Structure 1
């Protein structure tokens, strides 16, 4: 049967696209680890991404936190407020700029982060990569780094460096 003018031939199945596979992997990995984090800590991946970034950069501003986590500003504001309410992080006026706030973890926040790191690390070792050899893990890590460099270079006009 001849194709109509507005129809195109299917040349590639959806499941063969890497972006589709990566999205499925990300979604399933986040779903699984969210269950663990919710059950053990009452938090989810997004909360812990913010908590970890604050821990990695004590005194970070909200704008720098947003740039580092790629979380939309209003969502990030809610996450930060929740972490403060839970006593995991604290906000203080910046010593460098009285108009700005700095975020740091509390002692409780540091303990929760350590627990989350154990939970997440265990899930990666036992579930996600349990069937991988050390060589395969190193190779995958190198390939993902290479992919990220390629995407950044394309975004930045081929320079590979942020503008």
Structure 2
């Protein structure tokens, strides 16, 4: 008699546990605001930044171009067009960094890349490809702003 009761208790607890684990946390309002599809995903354009062909730039020219590069990153992020950006660590493939653009087409991303002074001066070159990922990436900039210590 004890064995069937224990089995029923175990099954009941398993069912309760399973139902809690599979409970949906779906937020329709948030999903719509991020233009998420039914999988919580959306289209982006992934940009791989590589070392460009300009090997004759002076130190001053490079410094000015990369200062503009950083300013441009900040502007695109504030406009919501750039959701992730960052450099690669030293590597032997001439990979310098990435951008993930919050646009649907490579053509739109080409127009944004063209505003980067480091690319304009051929210190960097951009390789663009469509990419499909979590719509939540768009929230990265908001979260990042909360974890950067202010400069005094």
Q: TM-score range by the shorter chain?
A: under 0.3
Higher-Rg structure is 2
Q: Of Structure 1 and Structure 2, which has the larger fraction of its residues in strand?
A: 2
TM-score (normalised: structure 2): 0.27
TM-score (normalised: structure 1): 0.26
